[in-house]
Amino acid sequence: MLLNMILFVPLAGFLLLLFFPREQRGAIRTTALLISLLVFVASLGLIPEVRNAPTATSYETNVSWIDYPPIRYHVGIDGLSLWLVILSTLLTPITVLVSWNYIEKRVKEFFAFLLLLEFGMIGVFLAMDLFLFYVFFEVTLVPMYFLIGIWGHDKRIYAAVKFFLYTLAGSVLMLAAIIYLYNRGGTFDYPILLEMLRNGRLALSSTEQFWLFMAFFFAFAVKVPLFPLHTWLPDAHGEAPTAGSIILASVLLKMGTYGLVRFCLPMFPGAARDNAPWIVALAITGIIYGALVAMIQPNMKRLVAYSSVSHLGFVVLGIFSFNQLALDGAVYQMLNHGVSTGALFMLVGYLYERRHSLEIADYGGVATPAPFLAAMFMVTMLASVGLPTLNNFVGEFLVLQGAAQVNFTWAVFAAVGVILSAVYMLWMYQRTFFGEVSEELRSHMHDLSPREWATIIPLVVLMIWMGTATQTFLPVISASNERTLEQTKTNVEFQVNASPSLSSQVKELLNVR
Amino acid sequence: MSASFLPTGVEYIRLLPEIILAIFGTVVMMASPLRPKESRNFLYAITLVGLAAALWAAIAAYASPGTAFQDMVIVDGFGTFFRVLVIGVGILTILISHQYLARERAEPGEYYSLLLLSILGQCVMVTANELIMLFIGLEVSSIASYVMAGYLRNDQRNNESALKYFLLGSFATAFLLYGVAWIYGITGTTNLAEVRAALLTPGLAPAGMLASAAAALMFIGFAFKVSAAPFHVWAPDVYQGAPTPVAAFLSAGPKAAAFAILLRVYATAFEPLADRWEPVLWLSALLTMVIGNFAALTQTNIKRLLAYSSVAHAGYVMVAVTTNTELGTAAAMFYLASYAFMNIGAFAVVAHISRQGEKYVQIQDLAGLGVRQPLTAALLSVFMLSLIGVPLTAGFFGKFYIFKAALDANLVWLTVLGLLNSAVAAYYYLRVIVVMYMQEPVESTDSLPPLPTGLKATLWGAAAGTFLLGIFPSLVLDFAGRSAALVK
């Protein structure tokens, strides 16, 4: 009941906002804020039960939606999805506050779309039916498309259409794969399909596994985005309004990595392992390439966007290392990236609201007129760089350690990315906040307002919390990851002929642990 | 013996929708000169009553399914589904047309009468159980549509549209009729079930080739009517030139009826030849999707864009026909119903925007609609998203069922290419939304009058249908699934 409420209240909020008269901007904003806060508070109530049983599916609802083919409204939450759901519900009220004054035209539609987006995001993480998952996966496209296209910067239309087409092209083949699985297994229900794959009632040949894996993988890789499918990301981020960038970076990209962990690994372990080498190669390429390109960006938002490409490379590396530590790190890094990159986009947005420019060259010495803004930016930037005691450090460290256990070379190359991230972030920070401040800039720059404080504080607190008290978050993730790896292992033994050399190597490592 | 040639009472009931439509069609035409010059509402009301009565009759006739008039007509679930669909399309078209005709200062009487007769023809088509009946229905439907395409006779584009439609259409029907003649020559019958039985008879070896040739000839006729490649070239010109409500009607009603007969003939009479026609349909389906979608990418006129999109959607339905399974038939039925909603909705908005003399029919003329008339823009966005196939709209489930049926039938490549095609299509539909929401208002949207009632009703009806089929597809799909088993 609680879970369904969390899922459907944003949808109800979306419909409610549509009936508001458009002049009542204040009422619209307040309603959106209250609804999203309500959802956030409610979502905190999910924590105790999931912590008790992180590998079980809690708050399960399973009712028929469409009789034939049997598509079920089957939702539930477990350790893998818990924090991602809470991340989504936390960021929605924050983005409402961020957009409070920034959005001036078509206020009603903007906040309505934000709530619709929240509905889609939460749905993606809760769906236990492949078909339902696909529906939510696509539903998020529409509001995001409008957010970028209507309220974005100058090249917004190009960016919005590119975003929509890339993701859609990626996901239609996943739909084909989902239908194919249904034709073979007779159900869209994910736990049942998994069980059938596990006990061999649904045996996929290695060719089938390969193509199905590729169809799913491609859809998620576009979303992540994995190098070289990342080109939509800088455009989408660069042109989106602040709220759009935050949601896009923090949650929408995670839908890709979440899909990899949730679906690709357990369903097609053989194919996932066979293809891991080149996927890891792409991930590492992405880590380094993203960092190098970020370094030379003159535009702050694009810089942060490319840093996302780099950070998400770590996540993919962690996932395809097939190692408990690396996978824990990957999932943890999904959350970290959500918090710290979301905060970065927010702060860049605040700079933009003051100076109306995203070019780094237009800034300099901002720390003098706006010391608190500079301080918050500093913490966030250091978190993103991976400074110990801040959140990203934990995730990156786990990924690197886990990857090193599997293949030391991977870790070496990936670690280059950590160093480079320090270079581009610090350099950007230096050019923006230090040095002489021009008179013109000084007149624009005022420090954080109370509303802005309210949006940044929760995220900064989380950065420190997640960096120091990992025990709050990690055990749940770890337990569900153990199950995921167990699932891939069971399937390995069943599909033993898929790739003996590599699978035994991985198994050995798993047994060592 | 002679008594059995007289139809019994229940046979009249089975033909009741057609009878009602014929009566009302005639009454409207007769009443047209008698009514006072300034009152338009009278004929409008009669026509709507006639369609409502026909709708009721179509549903009532299904209570006693079976054949009528010496097996010439068959009332089954399949036929009833399409009868209801084409009559429903008729109602929505009338609702758009009323205001449109008033705006263009055109005579409503003949128009309504022609529309009723065209629907009559489609009802005959979808319940025809033999080839001659089918041909008669097709001709009744087509000839009325030819006239409607050129209804505003002082408009050059209308004339061009009607002439092209008429010349190419008659040419295509000639092929169809030629194919019918061949079939009659080979099998000695025109009844679908008997044709099938004859084709299944062993020892037909030399005639098997001829029968395939006849099926190919008939395919030309059908493919023309459903605007499937390579016989689709008329569609963009005709849709662009025809009055907008007529274009809406053509893209939904006659097309659905033509698909119905295509399905019925190929899945029953020509089913023994499936090995021969399936590859042809496969290729035609692929070409139709590719040509429709890629040609639509560069269009600037919204009617032409919707015309090419209509070609592309015919391609998707062709995929369903190619499967030659009951699931495919059900998917095609569902798709045609959802397509009718979203496409008529889209054309209704175009009819509203275009203004007198269809001045504003460029995509660019929609600029700023999101600001000037948020509701109209939102509804058009819903139709566009449904045409793309975004979940929770009818278009999504339509595509889903079609490609599911195709995968079931092992048409893996056609599915993959079709799905990629639908991603390409997203571009040109999105462009419409981009223009509406992301560009500043222009003259055409600044001076836009509020939505008239009839249009509003159409838009809401179409949007409700789009969402209803997108969220609870079982409502229609269950019925489609049950009636997809065609009588063989």
> Angle at Cα A37 formed by Cα A34 and Cα A39, nearest 5°?
110
Nearest to B235 by CA among B153, B161, B341, B290: B161
pLDDT for the residue numbered A164: 85
Name the DSSP letter for residue A201. Answer: S
Q: What is the per-residue pLDDT for B206?
A: 60
Give the tens place of pLDDT for each residue, B433-463. Answer: 888 887 888 877 777 888 888 888 889 999 9
- A42: exposed, middle or buried (C-beta count within 10 Å: 0-12, 13-18, 19+)? middle
B485 touches chain A (CB under 8 A): no
Mean pLDDT of A200-218: 86
Concatenated DSSP letters for B343-357?
A: HHHHHHHHHHHHTGG
In a domain, B488, yes or no: no
Could A66 and B419 be called an inter-chain contact, meaning their C-beta atoms sit closer than 8 Å?
A: no
Do the Cβ atoms of B403 and A179 come within 8 Å?
Answer: yes
- Bridge partners of A71? A66
Q: State whether B474 and A68 contact (CB < 8 Å).
A: yes
Domain coverage including residue A405: 2-512
Residues 6+ apart with CB under 8 A from A337: A249, A250, A253, A254, A308, A311, A312, A315, A392, A395
Residue B203 vs residues B145, B207, B272: alpha-carbon distances, Å: 43, 9, 14
Q: For chain A, what is the mean pLDDT?
A: 85
Among A174, A105, A153, A121, CA closest to B400: A174
Are the beta carbons of A135 and B437 separated by less than 8 Å?
no
Looking at chain A, the number of H-run helices and the number of E-run strands are 24, 2
Q: Would B3 be classed as within a structural domain?
A: no
Average pLDDT value for residue range A103-122: 87
- Percent of chain B's residues with pLDDT above 70: 97
A68: nearest CB among B370, B396, B481 = B481
Euclidean distance between CA atoms B332 and B329, whole angstroms = 5
Place of tokens 């840093």: A307
Write out pLDDT tens, residues A100-111. 888 788 888 888
What pLDDT is stored for residue A146 in this prediction? 85
Q: Write down the pLDDT at residue A492.
A: 46
Are B472 and A66 a contacting pair at CB < 8 A? yes
Q: Which of B404, B428, B471 to mutate to test the interface with A (most CBs of A within 10 A)?
A: B404
Q: Are A363 and A441 in contact (CB under 8 A)?
A: yes
Distance CA A95, CA A116 (A): 13
**Strand-pair category, A71-77 with A58-66:** antiparallel
Looking at the structure of chain B, the number of domains it has is 1
Q: What is the pLDDT of residue A497?
A: 41
According to DSSP, residue B130 is labeled B
B204 has pLDDT over 90: no
Looking up tokens 């058009």, which residue turns up? Answer: B380
What chain B residue is nearest to A67 in terms of C-alpha separation? B474
Residue with tokens 């957010």: A147
Q: How many CB atoms lie within 10 A of CB A218?
A: 18
Band of the pLDDT at A316, cuts 50, 70, 90?
Answer: very high
User: Which residues are bridge partners to A74 per DSSP?
Assistant: A62
Q: Are A272 and A389 in contact (CB under 8 A)?
A: no
Contact between A112 and A17 under an 8 Å Cβ cutoff? The reply is yes
* Residue whose token pair is 């509001």: A143
Name the percent of chain A lying above pLDDT 70.
95
Please give the full DSSP string across A221-244, using - where no structure is assigned.
HHHTTPTTS-THHHHHHHHS-HHH
Residue A136 with chain B: CB contacts under 8 Å: 391
Alpha carbon distance B387, B398 (integer Å): 10
Structure tokens at A83: 């924090």
B7: its two tokens: 């139809």
Q: pLDDT of A320-345, one tens digit each?
A: 988 888 888 899 999 999 999 999 99
Quote ipTM for the complex. Answer: 0.78
Residue A396: HSE in the Cβ half-sphere, 13 Å Cα cutoff: 28
pLDDT digit string, tens, across residues B387-419: 988 888 999 989 999 998 998 888 888 888 988
Residue A501 has pLDDT above 50, yes or no: no
Q: What percent of chain A has pLDDT over 90?
A: 16
Given this model, what pLDDT does residue A493 score?
43
Residues belonging to chain A: 513
User: Does residue A499 surpass a pLDDT of 50?
Assistant: no
Q: How many domains does chain A have?
A: 1
Provide the 10 A C-beta neighbour count for residue A394: 24
User: How high is the pLDDT of residue B340?
Assistant: 92
* Band (A154; pLDDT cuts 50, 70, 90): confident
Q: How confident is the model at residue A430 (pLDDT cuts 50, 70, 90)?
A: confident
Band the pLDDT of A133: cuts 50, 70, 90.
very high
| pLDDT in the model for residue A500 | 43
Q: Which residue range(s) make up the domain with B135?
A: 9-194+204-483
pLDDT tens string A452-467: 888 899 999 989 998 8
CA torsion angle A64 A70 A71 A75 (round to 10): 50
Alpha-carbon span A448 to A347, nearest angstrom: 10
What are the CA-CA distances from residue B204 to residues B197, B200, B207 (Å)? Answer: 11, 8, 5
Q: Burial of B32 by CB count in 10 Å (0-12 exposed, 13-18 middle, 19+ buried)?
A: middle
| Cβ contact B426–A164 (<8 Å) | yes
- pLDDT at position A476, please? 87
Contacts of B415 in chain A (CB under 8 A): 176, 179
For residue A119, the distance in angstroms to the closest alpha carbon of chain B comes to 13
Q: Looking at residue A496, what is its pLDDT?
A: 39
How, if at all, do strands A71-77 and B66-68 pair? Answer: unpaired
What is the predicted pLDDT for the residue at A70?
Answer: 84
A469-482 pLDDT, tens digit each: 888 888 888 888 88
- Of the partner residues B390, B427, B474, the one whose CB lies closest to the CB of residue A142: B390
Categorize the per-residue pLDDT at B267 as very low, low, confident or very high, splitting at 50, 70 and 90. confident
Buried b / exposed e over A97-133, threshold 16 CB at 10 Å, is bbbbeebeebbbbbbbbbbbbbbbbbbbbbbbbbbbb
Beta strands, E only, B345-400: none
Q: How confident is the model at residue A509 (pLDDT cuts 50, 70, 90)?
A: low
Residue B450, Cβ density class (10 Å: 0-12 exposed, 13-18 middle, ≥19 buried): exposed
Chain B closest CA to A28's CA: distance in Å? 17
Asked if residue B245 belongs to a domain, the reply is yes
Query: What is the full DSSP assignment across A53-96?
Result: STTS-EEEEEEEEETTTTEEEEEEE-HHHHHHHHHHHHHHHHHH
A72 pairs with which residues across the strands?
Answer: A64
Contact B122, B257 (CB under 8 A): yes
The mean per-residue pLDDT over the stretch A73-89 comes to 90
Contact criterion met (CB < 8 Å) for A175 and B403: yes
The pLDDT, as a whole number, for residue B145 is 92
Q: What is the pLDDT of residue B487?
A: 62
Alpha-carbon separation of residue A111 from A95, A163, A243, A420, B226 (angstroms):
10, 20, 10, 37, 43
The per-residue pLDDT for A104 is 80
DSSP bridge partners of A189: A129
pLDDT winner (highest mean) among B151-165, B203-217, B307-321, B445-459: B307-321
Cα separation, A425 vs A146, whole angstroms? 30
Does the pLDDT at position A124 exceed 90?
yes
- Whole-angstrom distance, CA of residue A455 vs CA of residue B260: 58
pTM of the predicted structure, to 2 decimals: 0.85
Chain A CB contacts of B325 below 8 Å: none
* φ/ψ of residue B342, rounded to 5: -70, -35
| Interchain proximity B437–A149, CB inside 8 Å | yes
Contact A161 B427 (CB under 8 A): yes
